[in-house]
Copies of this chain bind each other. A is one copy, B any other.
Amino acid sequence: MASVFGEKIKISVFGESHGEGIGVVIDGLPAGKAVDTEKVYAQMARRAPGKDKTATARRESDLPRVLSGMLGDRLTGAPLCAVIENTNTRSSDYGNLLSTPRPGHSDYAAFVKYKGGNDIRGGGHFSGRITAPIVFAGAVCRQILEEKGIKIAAHIQSIGSVQDEKFNPVNIEPELMDRLSASSFSLINPDVEQAMRDEVEQARLALDSVGGIIECAVTGVPAGYGEPMFDGVEGAIAKAVFGIPAVKGVEFGAGFESAALRGSQNNDPFRFSGGRVVTETNNCGGILGGITDGMPIIFRAAVKPTPSIGQKQKTVNLQTEQNAELEIKGRHDPCIVPRAVPVIEAAAAIALINILD
Contact = CB atoms under 8 A, between A and B. Distances in A.
Contact of A263 (B252, B287, B305): B305
Nearest to A233: B242
13 contacts: A10-B12, A14-B27, A23-B81, A67-B83, A75-B117, A104-B263, A104-B288, A125-B229, A211-B260, A230-B239, A232-B242, A271-B316, A272-B323
A72 B101 contact: no
Interface stretch (A38-46, A139-147, A289-297): A289-297
Given A101-B270, A106-B288, A259-B212, A114 B32 contact: yes
Interface stretch (A47-55, A174-182, A186-194, A219-227): A219-227
Given A67-B83, A79-B13, A117-B31, A203 B262 contact: yes
A3 B228 contact: yes
Please tell me the size bucket of the interface on A: 35 or more
Given A14-B81, A270-B108, A76 B113 contact: no
A338 interface: no
B269 A315 contact: yes
Most buried by B among A113, A256, A263, A271: A263
A291 B268 CA distance: 37
Nearest to A5: B230
Contacts of A32: 114-117
A356 interface: no
A183 interface: no
A215 to B, nearest CB: 11
Most buried by B among A116, A228, A262, A322: A228
A353 interface: no
Nearest to A278: B316
Contact of A110 (B66, B158, B243, B291): B291
Contacts of A209: 262-264
Interface string A302-317: 1111111101011110
B78 A14 contact: yes
Given A2-B227, A106-B288, 18 more contacts: A3-B79, A4-B27, A5-B229, A12-B12, A12-B79, A19-B67, A76-B125, A77-B125, A108-B223, A130-B229, A232-B242, A232-B243, A250-B251, A256-B256, A259-B303, A259-B304, A266-B307, A269-B315
A210 interface: yes
A16 interface: yes
Among all A-B residue pairs, the 8 with the closest Cβ atoms = A106-B289, A32-B117, A249-B251, A31-B117, A2-B231, A112-B224, A209-B263, A78-B125
